[in-house]
Chains A and B, each alone.
Chain A
Amino acid sequence: MSDTKDVILDYIKEEYLDDEDMELDFSSPLITGGIVDSFSMVSLKRFLETKYKIQIPDAKATPEAFDSVDNIIVLLKEFNVE
């Protein structure tokens, strides 16, 4: 699972962070912290679906579920992504 966490964290840093000095870890608030907005969340969801070959229903793609890498990992477990 730590590989998955790292993959997602690296992807977020690469795709969503403009400030290279900003520190981001697994618990950093992504949605409430303004790093990933509600529109961009769609592309993050699409990344997870494409990468892990799953379908995340819209009802489960909530700001809460996407608010940190830790939360995303909890969500992915529901889809048996380890």
Chain B
Amino acid sequence: MNNMGPYDEIRKKFNWKISEDELDYKEGDDINIGWYCSDRICNQGKADKDALIWQGFSGEVKKYTFNDSRIITNTIASFLQKTGVESGDRVCLFMDKIPELYFGFLGILKMGGIAQPLFSAFGGESLITRLEDAETKAIITQKKHLGKVRKIRDELPGLEYIIVVDHDGNKPLKEREIAFSMENSEKVEEYRVFRSKAETPSVLHYTSGTTGQPKGAQHVHYSLISQYISSKYVLDLKEDDIYWCTADPGWVTGTSYGIIGPWSNGITQCVLDSGFKAENWYRFIEKQKITVWYSAPTAIRALMKEGKSEVEKFDLSSLRHLCSVGEPLNAEAVLWSTETYGLTFHDTFWQTETGSMVITNYPGMEIKPGSMGKPFPGIEATVLDLKNHEPIEKRGVVGLIALKPGWPSMFRAYWNNEKTYNSKFINGWYVCGDRASIDEDGYYWFVGRDDDVINTGGHLVGPFEIESALLEHESVAESAVVGKPDPVNMEVVKAFISLKPGVEASDMLELEIMNFIRKKLSPLAMPQDVEFVDSLPKTRSGKIMRRMLRAKEWGEDIGDTSTLEDD
């Protein structure tokens, strides 16, 4: 029996109070995610239960109980406070998937700070953009990434504290840098957790859009209500489960369902801090006896490439439930997982802004391979007409996915960007920016993005940010960036570039440009294909027609070209 029971029944009777009651929360109470994910679980008699089983790439394993988590997060919170971080300050987490990242996240929340996790592969420019916008006061990082932080620190006068979690003392730290050792610091048994309320800001996750720089989606502690119950219903987490979420907490999945969801449910979770290799992943599942696995289509397709023979080398019989997130899970991958693992990957749809799953497939509900599933109980969803933005009643017609605002984990603002935040709401609906249709049975079918944002490997990349960075390369005169199809990552970045006069196109220049973006922004933003062109298609008003270039890459109709500039 799954936790949720029959979908139609729970959908009729569900309200968010069910989750509030299970968490013993009443309106007006204190609600601190850090406390709920550690102290509360200890108070339930699970202090000695494993909270985190962590494995590094060399095979080293570390285990932490919920009581360890409680004390470590107390220690981190206390350290931050003594250092000078105050409630409401933004504290960036810039680390690989090491234990300090997970406990650091809760420690920040416990002392009332706003956690700002950033993907550790981000380059200098990506870091500056996000830290400057958030006016981040402290960054917690590791030696491996300290070089990147040092390169940009002078441009960030507001960044007062650079906390290094693995300083070995071999080289002296510089001004503003502080060493902190999670393992060796004096343990703080008792800590007065910050008395956050439902609407107290908790997490700031940056996400990319078509225009402008990335925006910080700001969440609040009340998001717990959605994240707890969706983990229970969709991931179907149960007391004895060993759960593995493969996402990096630099992205929203890694915090909502890689920290908050499982730990607020008191579930043991595993983390593998290693690059992707099918054999290592399967060995990890076998060794840790993973029961519930939440991964991404890109990873699933990469596993498909390795074939069934790789699977047969391992005992994966511990697995009982599989879910996927990031981009639409193609029907072929769904069918492959059923055939190969004897279990079907359940696709889940949500975004940085939604904070938790909103349209998804459920254990026990019939899965239509390739479908996004149905709205989560408590979420009112629809598709809006592309022109008049009214809900489409007719089935099978493509429109914009839209949600009625009001679910607990909905973002409350884009940091410092009220105008863009307001633009996401039309006719009383939050518009996700994706297109889909709804079939006769109420299942949603993803069609594509409604804008130029590129979804590569489950991560959104903004073309504007890449084009702006490309212009800083000495050889580039103009560029246009689009997504091109990719069998594993769904899309990868392709750049069309016109060079400055006198510059010759070459393979070396292409590689140089790729590396330039990789280091400046991130590996995700790096063009995997560069096409040198004499000129870019533009409207008569001079705007580059990305739409045309993208359509060409996808073999689609180019559409209306009446506004195209004459040659």
By a beta-carbon cutoff of 8 Å, the part of chain A in contact with chain B is 15, 18-22, 29, 31-34, 36-40, 42-43, 46-47, 49-50, 63-64, 67
Contact = CB atoms under 8 A, between A and B. Distances in A.
A38 B299 CA distance: 11
Top 4 closest pairs, chain A to chain B, by CB: A39-B523, A31-B275, A18-B147, A40-B523
16 contacts: A15-B519, A32-B57, A32-B274, A32-B275, A33-B58, A33-B275, A34-B57, A34-B96, A39-B456, A39-B457, A42-B528, A46-B511, A50-B507, A50-B511, A63-B275, A67-B277
B275 A37 contact: yes
Given A39-B528, A50-B508, A50-B511, 11 more contacts: A19-B146, A29-B275, A31-B277, A33-B58, A38-B275, A38-B302, A42-B514, A63-B277, A63-B278, A64-B277, A67-B277
Interface in B66-82: none
A31 B275 CA distance: 5
Nearest to B151: A18
Given A33-B57, A43-B518, A18 B144 contact: yes
Contacts of A20: 147
Interface residues of B, number: 35
A68 B456 CA distance: 25
B370 to A, nearest CB: 24
A47 B526 CA distance: 14
Contact of A47 (B58, B145, B278, B511): B511
Contacts of B518: 39-40, 43
B526 A40 contact: yes
B465 to A, nearest CB: 16
A22 B57 CA distance: 15
Contacts of B335: none
Interface of B: 57-58, 96, 121, 143-148, 170-171, 273-280, 302, 456-457, 507-508, 510-511, 514-515, 518-519, 523-524, 526, 528
Given A37-B121, A43-B511, A43-B518, A32 B277 contact: yes
Given A42-B526, A43-B511, A19 B147 contact: yes
A58 to B, nearest CB: 9
A31 B145 CA distance: 17
Given A19-B144, A20-B147, A43 B275 contact: no
Contact of A39 (B57, B171, B526): B526
A43 B170 contact: no
A56 to B, nearest CB: 14
Contacts of A38: 275-276, 302, 457
Contact of A22 (B144, B456, B519): B144
A2 B279 CA distance: 29
Contacts of A36: 275
Nearest to B519: A15
B143 A21 contact: yes
A72 to B, nearest CB: 15
Which of B274, B302, B511 has the most chain A CB atoms closer than 10 A to its own CB? B511
A4 to B, nearest CB: 18
A22 B170 CA distance: 12
A63 B276 contact: yes
A53 to B, nearest CB: 9
Nearest to A33: B57
B526 A43 contact: yes
A15 B515 contact: yes
B529 to A, nearest CB: 9
A34 B276 contact: no
B523 A37 contact: yes
B493 to A, nearest CB: 9
A46 B57 contact: no
Contacts of B57: 29, 32-34
Contacts of B276: 31, 38, 63
Contacts of B515: 15, 43
